[in-house]
Amino acid sequence: MNLEEDLAYELFSQQEIADRVAAMGEAITQDYAEKAADGIVLICVLRGAAIFMGDLARQIKLPLEMDYMAVSSYGNGTKSSGVVRILKDLSSSIEGRHVIIAEDILDSGLTLKFLIKSLSARKPASIEVCTLLRKDTPNQADVNCRYIGFECPNEFIVGYGLDYAERYRNLSCIGVLKPEIYS
Ligand code: IMP
Ligand code: MG
């Protein structure tokens, strides 16, 4: 069974993603080389950002810790519920640390807005967002993203960590799912 057959079209190829992630890792390495001599904390927003963060981490040439958080904002549908809940919290304290949140996609912005607020209250030395994708969504919450991989259209997309009903995360490219798959 070929997962790519369920795509209406490809948005970003495996190579385009690899090149962009390498450039993002290089930018982070440069930006943090001096101020974060004792390293940074990369926070993965499960589950969508796991593949992205795994690749990104290996492109950052600094000591770093990887930690994981799970929040709910989507069920098995394709629209944000607007409700964000912490399902799994971080394992380590981030107080006094330089934190970068790795996210797969900024859609309504509700998830990141909630996360930034909740993590800022734990007094990190700094907190920035690194999102692989930013969707062209109307009324997107105003979220300050220091690092953005790609801008993408307001379509439902899958691959490279992004799922529809827990499928397609293992697709190496990113593409728009055929609407008949979810309608
Ligand atoms: P937000 O809170 O609306 O910004 O949604 C963020 C989360 O929704 C992301 O971390 C994704 O897990 C999920 N999401 C948003 N758009 C898509 C999409 O097009 N495909 C798959 N997941 C998506
Ligand atoms: Mg996600």
Tell me, yes or no, whether 101 lies in a domain. yes
Number of domains, the chain: 1
Burial state string for 36-66 with b = 16 or more CB within 10 A and e = fewer than 16: beeebbbbbbbebbbbbbebbbebbebebeb
Sign (positive or negative) of CA dihedral 131, 48, 137, 85: negative
pLDDT tens digit sequence for 9-33 = 999 999 999 999 999 999 999 999 9
Known catalytic membership, residue 142:
no
Is it the case that residue 66 has pLDDT exceeding 80? yes
Q: Which of 43, 74, 150 to mutate to test the pocket of ligand 1 (most atoms within 8 A of CB)?
A: 74
The answer to whether residue 150 sits within a structural domain is yes
Its domain, for residue 49, covers 17-154
Strands (E), 13-140: 40-46, 64-72, 85-88, 98-106, 126-135
pLDDT at 133: 98
Measured distance CA(174)–CA(168) in Å, rounded: 9
Work out which ligand 1 atom sits closest to the CA atom of 104.
10
